[in-house]
Amino acid sequence: TRTIYLDCDTGIDDSLALAFLLAAPGTDLVGIGAVSGNVSAAQGAQNTLDLLELAGRGDIPVAIGAHDPLAGHFDGGVPHIHGDNGIGNIKLHPAQATTTGTSAAELLISLSHDHPGELSIVAIGPLTNIALALAIDPSLPTRIKDVTIMGGAALVAGNVSPVAEANIWNDPEAAALTLAARWDLTLVPLDVTLENILEEEQRVALEESPIPVVSSIGRILDFYFDFYVGLYGRRASAMHDPLAAAIATGAIIPTNAPRVAIEVDTTRGPGRGQTICDLRGQRMGPVDQPGAHCRVVLGTDIPLPPVLVEHLLA
Ligand code: BDR
Ligand code: CA
């Protein structure tokens, strides 16, 4: 079994990643922290609770994490991409369960003591909660099995600035601290997430599912598909967060994923939020750099969308 702490800004593709982790065989989701990104941390936590209840998993603890990034303030999110409420303006039945009352960083630290050496972190929002947990307890990495992050752009353009991807852009200082910590880290950047595209017929299959949480997500995706028409020229959407979740569970295996030095630009100039991956010397195939602890995923074994749909409809 894989024991997972999920940190998210739920969010439409976050909802899909959550549903995937609930459905993935051999996966035990033991706690979730919300962070501001697509929506505020409080709204993201509420969306997460509502989805969990719909899935019959109101037992999983959900903590509200950081509202603001380490430096600066939450910018109000991206209602034009994820809807005003983060889940495509679909209203879910409000959950009975409430948040833990602790911070997400505290929840993560406490879970790391409950599952020493076994806990995998899947981070699909800005990395503020993870950086706060590291600040509270610098020994955290010694108890964590591995960390999988959706974020960054290695060799492709960014999606917020010419070079920065949203999760890193929203808290570059936190990303820099998280990537520098000595844990076994996998970065899943736009290079691969933008290539894993869910098509309209797959969305419709989800919407028509008899499983309530799956059909709701099919409806939620409608809003995301409208946004992505501008990028793909058809109703479809990138599977950013679900790809990171699938890699963390082993359902998708990175094939081209060298361990290299990665630095986050925390300057205030045009490079802010860029993930600078040292990919020199990779022309003949992936080569690990001695001492590098982060692998950057540039290719995977199989496309995610069919696997995702199959897991959700099973
Ligand atoms: C990332 O940004 C968020 O809007 C998505 O949920 C995903 O985590 C993609 O850049
Ligand atoms: Ca996200």
Instruction: Give the Å distance between the CA of 8 and the centre of ligand 2.
Output: 6
pLDDT at position 95 is 98
Q: Is 13 in the pocket of ligand 1 (CB under 6 A)?
A: yes
Q: Is the CB of 159 under 6 A from ligand 1?
A: yes
Ligand 1: which of 240, 243, 247, 275 to mutate, most ligand atoms within 8 Å of CB?
240
Q: Per residue in 184-226, pLDDT tens?
A: 999 999 999 999 999 999 999 999 999 999 999 999 999 999 9
pLDDT tens, residue by residue, 139-157: 999 999 999 999 999 999 9
Of 12, 38, 191, the one to substitute when testing ligand 1's pocket (max ligand atoms within 8 A of C-beta) is 38
Paired tokens of 179: 């990537």
Counting as low any pLDDT under 70, the low residues of the chain are: none
CA 305 / ligand 1 centre spacing (Å)? 17
Strands (E), the chain: 2-8, 27-34, 62-64, 119-123, 144-150, 185-188, 197-199, 236-238, 254-256, 262-264, 275-277, 294-296, 299-300
Residue numbers annotated as active site: 9, 240
Residue closest via CA to ligand 1's atom 4 equals: 38
Rounded to two decimals, what is the model's pTM? 0.98
pLDDT of residue 127: 99
167 lines ligand 1 (CB under 6 A): yes
Nearest ligand to the CA atom of 34: 2
pLDDT at 34: 98
Distance (angstroms) between ligand 1 centre and the Cα of 270 equals 20
Cβ 275 under 6 angstroms from ligand 1: no
- The 3-class secondary structure across 29-85, one letter per residue, is EEEEEECCCCCCHHHHHHHHHHHHHHCCCCCCCEEECCCCCCCCCCCCCCHHHHCCC
For the question of an ipTM over 0.90, the answer is yes
Tokens representing 12?
């439409």
